[in-house]
A = this chain, B = another copy of it.
Amino acid sequence: MAKLDESLLTGLPPFSMLNRAQIREILDHAVSRRYDEGTTIFHEGAEAERFFLLLDGYLRVVRTTPGGDQIIVLHISPGQLFGIAPALQRDTYPATSIAAAESIALSWPVSLWPDFTAKYPGFATESYKTLGQRLGQIQETLTEMATQAVEKRVASAVLRMANQSGIKTENGIEIAFPVTRQNISDMTGTTLHTVSRLLSAWQKDGIVESTRKHIVVTDPHRLVILSGAQD
C-alpha cells in the first residue's frame, strides 16, 4: 500500500490543531480502504474493532428493527469521524454503516483511541463535539418524526441532504450521492410510493427535478416552506 499523504488530514476538524509530525504519526497507523456503493462497512451490534474517518464519498447510518424494517438515522460526509464507539465506552457499534456512494475511509484499531485522545487533546474535543451535534440532530429527527406530517418530513429530509452534500449546478442544488425513493422513505418512515408521488408533484410544481437515484432541488425556498420550518 502506498504511503498516505499528510495533506489528507490537514484542515479536517478532528486534526486541525495538529502539526505535520503528529499527522504523520497518526497516518502511519491508519489503514485506507475503498468501499463500493452499497457495501456495508460495519454492522449494528458487531464488535467495535476500529474507528473510522470518511475521506471521500457518503455513508448511510442505518438501524434495523427485529422485524426487518430499517430507517436511515443520518448521513456521514467526507471529513467526519464515524464508528467512534470507543468514545462512548461502547464495545459494539450502535448502528450499521453503508456506503451510499463509492467511498474511501481511513480506520484505526480502537486500541489506539486512548492514545489518540491522550496525546492530542484537540482530537478528543472535536470528536465529542461531533457526537454532540449528532445527538442534537437525531433528537430533532425524532421530534419531527413524532409531530410532523409525511410531506413535511420528506421535505426536511431532502433539504437536509441538500444542505449536507449539495453542490450548486445551473439548475439548483444537487444531492451529491445516489438516493432512491426507498432511501428517502427509510429516512422518513413512509413508503416509497408516497415519496414517489410527492417528488412527482414537486417536480410538476418546479420545486425539484429528479431522475433515478438523483435529485436536484431547483427551488429550495419553496421546499423550506413545505418543510414547515419557522423563520
Contacts and interface: CB of A to CB of B under 8 A. Distances in A.
A135 to B, nearest CB: 6
Interface in A123-160: 125, 128-129, 131-132, 134-136, 138-148
Nearest to A63: B143
Contacts of A229: 66
Contacts of A136: 90, 94
Nearest to A64: B143
A59 interface: no
Copies in the complex: 2
Interface residues of A, number: 40
A65 interface: yes
Secondary structure at the A interface, as helix, strand, loop or mixed, is helix
A16 to B, nearest CB: 14
Interface string A43-66: 000000000000000000001111
A188 interface: yes
10 contacts: A63-B140, A65-B147, A67-B147, A67-B230, A71-B147, A88-B129, A89-B132, A138-B142, A142-B145, A147-B189
